[in-house]
Amino acid sequence: MQTSFTRFCGIDVGKDKHVACVIEANGQMVLRSQSFLNDAAGYQQILARLQQAGGPARVLVGMEATGHYWYALHDFLTRQGYRVAVLNPIQTAQQARQGIRKSKTDRLDAHHIATLLKNGEYRPALVPGELAMTCRQLARLRYALIRQSSRLKQLVE
């Protein structure tokens, strides 16, 4: 995608914590896989690690679009100047299947994501804008309220 990046950070996104690792363009590990919490303190921790790895000019970040858990981290990193590629989990699953070991761990997933970025074997997912995200959340809320209303009507009848 862009050849100016010399380091690649893969982040495996989870509900309570994420796992990140950074590799060089030659595939060597720069920063071993390490977990960080999905909160402000955890975001500062990964930001410090990314700065240590070379900052926004050298590091391309990639993460899976796992549920809604990636939104806040994506927003935080892009506001810090990082280019963040959001990947469909199907892409990372295909990368993992190419490996010899058929194990699944968050640490390995983070490394697989970094490897996808390094090799340029990814297609970034479309990241909706703020208006689209708001509309999506409102539509989901409306659906939930309609379901709740239906259940309450069934209980009353």
Q: What is the pLDDT along the chain (157 residues), one digit of tens a residue?
A: 445 899 999 999 989 999 999 999 998 998 888 899 999 999 999 999 999 999 999 999 999 887 888 888 999 999 999 999 999 877 666 555 555 455 557 678 899 899 989 988 777 766 667 787 788 788 989 999 999 999 998 988 7
Is the pTM higher than 0.85? The answer reads no
**Dihedral of alpha carbons 128, 130, 131, 137, sign:** positive
70 and 63 Cβ atoms separated by less than 8 Å: yes
